[in-house]
């Protein structure tokens, strides 16, 4: 799992991310209204999903990393640390330097890499990501998996809406069964052969 502030941070560093050698990429998408996803992901969910997805897949999650995650990523030289952890140091030095041209105009380093703390902004960011992949704004919670952010618009869509309002402990069990089950294994095999 790779916590990110939003789509722009992935777009800005796409070539570097591709250079890490992942077989598959994805976004794990949920909003504050998708009970109990936020609660689960704030606690043990990030670590669970990082372990279950393995080293061959980079799954981005729009979430501010906790200090524990940052320490873990730094200590283990996790892909997140190599890709985004060092941006925190640069953010302090170069926060107002323009680094990305978007349809809305130039974005500063701070705008691209600052964490999304407001739940309305978070929901808006999830909507942007869903739109990027041609999905409706109602198709969350979900996981969207893909081979290339720009070149290949074909995706694997994992609908998680059936887990809405499932208590946190059951949500963990449901996700564990999915990642340990035949559908995830089949999807990983398809991605390796694609």
Instruction: Give 44-76 pLDDT, tens digit per residue.
Output: 888 999 999 988 899 999 987 777 877 888 888
Q: Which domain does 137 fall in, by range?
A: 2-193
- CA-to-CA distance for 132 and 123, rounded, in angstroms? 14
Please tell me the least confidently modeled range out of 1-15, 92-106, 172-186: 92-106
Strand partners, 105: 102
Spatial CA neighbour of 30 closest among 150, 154, 161, 147: 161
**Residue 13 near residue 46, CB atoms below 8 Å:** no
Q: Averaging pLDDT over each range in 37-46, 101-110, 167-176, which range is the top one?
A: 167-176
Q: How far apart are CA 177 and CA 57, in angstroms?
A: 18
Q: What's the structural domain count of the chain?
A: 1
User: What band does 82 get if pLDDT is binned at 50, 70 and 90?
Assistant: confident
Contacts of 85 (CB under 8 A, 6+ apart): 70, 73, 74, 78
Closest by alpha carbon to 57, among 89, 26, 92?
A: 26
């Amino acid at each position: 799992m790779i916590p990110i502030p939003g789509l722009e941070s992935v777009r800005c560093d796409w070539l570097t991310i591709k250079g890490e050698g992942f077989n598959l990429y994805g976004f794990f998408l949920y909003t504050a209204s998708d009970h109990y996803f936020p609660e689960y992901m704030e606690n043990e969910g990030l670590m669970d999903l990082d372990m279950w997805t393995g080293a061959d897949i980079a799954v981005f999650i729009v979430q501010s990393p906790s200090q524990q995650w940052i320490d873990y990523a730094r200590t283990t030289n996790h892909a997140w640390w190599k890709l985004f952890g060092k941006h925190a140091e640069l953010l302090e030095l170069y926060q107002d330097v323009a680094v990305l041209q978007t349809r809305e105009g130039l974005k500063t380093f701070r705008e691209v890499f600052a964490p999304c703390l407001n739940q309305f902004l978070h929901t808006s960011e999830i909507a942007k990501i869903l739109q990027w992949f041609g999905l409706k704004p109602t198709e969350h919670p979900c996981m969207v998996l893909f081979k290339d952010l720009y070149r290949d618009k074909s995706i694997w869509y994992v609908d998680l809406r059936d887990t809405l309002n499932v208590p946190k402990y059951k949500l963990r069990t449901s996700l564990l069964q999915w990642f340990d089950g035949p559908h995830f294994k089949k999807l990983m095999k398809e991605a390796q052969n694609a």
